[in-house]
Amino acid sequence: MMHSAAPMMSGEEVTAFVLEVFPQSVEHGWKVERLDADGIAVSMAIGEQHLRPGGTVSGPAMFALADVTAYLLVLSNVGREALAVTTNVSINFLNKPAGDLIAHGRLIKLGKRLAVCEIHIHNVTGEAMVAQASVTYSIPPRV
Amino acid sequence: MMHSAAPMMSGEEVTAFVLEVFPQSVEHGWKVERLDADGIAVSMAIGEQHLRPGGTVSGPAMFALADVTAYLLVLSNVGREALAVTTNVSINFLNKPAGDLIAHGRLIKLGKRLAVCEIHIHNVTGEAMVAQASVTYSIPPRV
Amino acid sequence: MMHSAAPMMSGEEVTAFVLEVFPQSVEHGWKVERLDADGIAVSMAIGEQHLRPGGTVSGPAMFALADVTAYLLVLSNVGREALAVTTNVSINFLNKPAGDLIAHGRLIKLGKRLAVCEIHIHNVTGEAMVAQASVTYSIPPRV
Amino acid sequence: MMHSAAPMMSGEEVTAFVLEVFPQSVEHGWKVERLDADGIAVSMAIGEQHLRPGGTVSGPAMFALADVTAYLLVLSNVGREALAVTTNVSINFLNKPAGDLIAHGRLIKLGKRLAVCEIHIHNVTGEAMVAQASVTYSIPPRV
């Protein structure tokens, strides 16, 4: 199934938590636009630090967006006690990005030990899918 | 974008073509259930040759379903002259499969040189997603 | 590190175990050529069932070789009680295979919960690497 | 095969070129330690901007190291005219990194249209492999 229970944390709660434990992530310019039982939408305001010559967004910047989107989604569903760690990311770069980006993520598996998210990154303006990723997290046993 | 033009070949045409050039694939028990501008649905009738102890479907059998689904989708969109070859597959095994399977595939990129498909495999009965894959094809120049 | 303790099972032991629990795998024509602290080498005799038009080896056949190679390697290092399950495979198809194949696998991680293998598939004759894969297994807690 | 001709550009040449076309990459603190027919070694000096709470190196920082290592390796082998673009990265995070990192990359395919690199990231001190990646580049036709 698509995992489809309501998340344990709201977009505001998970945002506040991540900014507290991981303040450097502010530099990525991410913002939770939607978080519900269907998944999450996270926007990224593109700045100079994200660009490559020619004005395209760098691969590492798109990876960082996929990574924070999956982390926010997993965290909001498993709760802040669980220190989930990324174990695998497979990312396909599909079309040249331009301007601000939005990532849509959904949980395609939420198990006791592993969670897997599928992430689609689009330009905020325009239909093009610029990147697609799957992100796997290992969820340690609760202490 | 989601690639969304009508395919160049119908489900019947692409099935006939694949069975002609690649008769061994019959053993996989695949059948095109739907092929349109939104993508493709391909079912796989599970037989003894696909099973593992405990009645679960083998990883190679699910890989073969993802592979044939992506091949049928790419072929129907680029035409039979183009001898597309698989260059990368990343597959996540999510939940234990049981019984016949159905794969839903869509083109997330259709370029001149590369095509990328996203594949979701479910049990025919029940909602569980049992596997998710991305499949990349290299499309040689037309001769 | 490269995991480098001696395996818990020999090539003969792990072969006998896999043929017992999973007799269908015989069809793949695999054979353990080497198993030691450095990793494993598994050959695959190519038969009609593995071929595509033009005499190339099918993607699913190479996937099956990568899968059985990783399974044999993990099993020999964690022991037969642990029912490891594949969670992710990423495979790159590099060069056109011809004739019998040999897969070299090594453990790049052996944790309590996850094991990751890197697999290189070559033609038995010739230097070409025909496929490269990483295979992740989830290792359930011992009962 | 392992691609094994001498690169077209030296470590100094490829470093100067990348710093010229892509000055922001300086922030990653990368340095070519070795570049020859066997592959490349690139170190990354870890700074505050790479860290996560607990002193571990962030996933995006390791991705950036894998990405620049593969880019330097491909560029040095295909030459500066070819504007290679990353099409797929699959990365496995294996062990918790600590301190400065070194990435060893080698070309496992160098074709006319695609190049594939295998990257192993280790701590500069200690044997642990902290991440493993495969990186695929599409190489446009020369103009």
- The verdict on residue D26 lying in a domain is yes
Cross-strand partners of B3: none
Opening angle at CA A88, ends A86 and A93, nearest 5 = 115
Distance CA B105, CA B99 (A): 20
Left if phi > 0, otherwise alpha if psi is -120 to 50, otherwise beta: which for D20?
alpha
The total number of structural domains that make up chain D: 1
At A64-84, the pLDDT tens digits run 999 999 999 999 999 876 678
- The verdict on residue B143 lying in a domain is no
For residue A11, give Cα distances in angstroms to A15, A123, C46, C97, D3.
6, 21, 54, 50, 48
Chain A residue numbers touching D49 (CB-CB < 8 A): 24, 27
- The verdict on residue A5 lying in a domain is no
- The verdict on residue B1 lying in a domain is no
SS3 call for D89? strand
Distance CA A116, CA C43 (A): 33
Q: Per residue of chain D (143 residues), what is the pLDDT tens digit?
A: 455 678 999 999 999 988 887 777 777 789 999 999 999 999 999 877 777 766 778 898 899 999 999 999 999 999 876 678 999 999 999 998 988 999 999 999 999 899 999 999 999 987 889 999 999 999 987 65
At B6-53, the pLDDT tens digits run 899 999 999 998 888 777 777 778 999 999 999 999 999 987 777 776
- The verdict on residue A65 lying in a domain is yes
CA-based R_g, chain D, Å: 14
Q: Which domain holds residue D119?
A: 11-138
Give the CATH number of the domain where residue C83 resides. Answer: 3.10.129.10
Interface test with C, best of A83, A86, A88, A137 (most C CBs within 10 A): A88
Nearest Cβ partner of A113 from C88, C113, C136? C113
Give me the amino acid identity at B26: V
Predicted ipTM? 0.91
- The verdict on residue B4 lying in a domain is no
Which of C115, C119, C121 has the alpha carbon at shortest distance from C134? C119
Please name the residue that has the structure tokens 């690169």.
D7
pLDDT for res D1:
42
- The verdict on residue B6 lying in a domain is no
In sequence order, what are the residues at sequence separation of 6 or more whose Cβ sits closer than 8 angstroms to the Cβ of residue B102? B33, B41, B42, B43, B44, B121, B122, B123, B124
Chain B residue numbers touching D90 (CB-CB < 8 A): 88, 90
SS3 call for A18? helix
SS3 call for A63? helix
- The verdict on residue C105 lying in a domain is yes
Chain C residue numbers touching D132 (CB-CB < 8 A): 108, 116, 118, 134
Return the partners of chain B (3 or more C-beta pairs < 8 Å): A, C, D
At D80-121, the pLDDT tens digits run 766 789 999 999 999 989 889 999 999 999 998 999 999 999
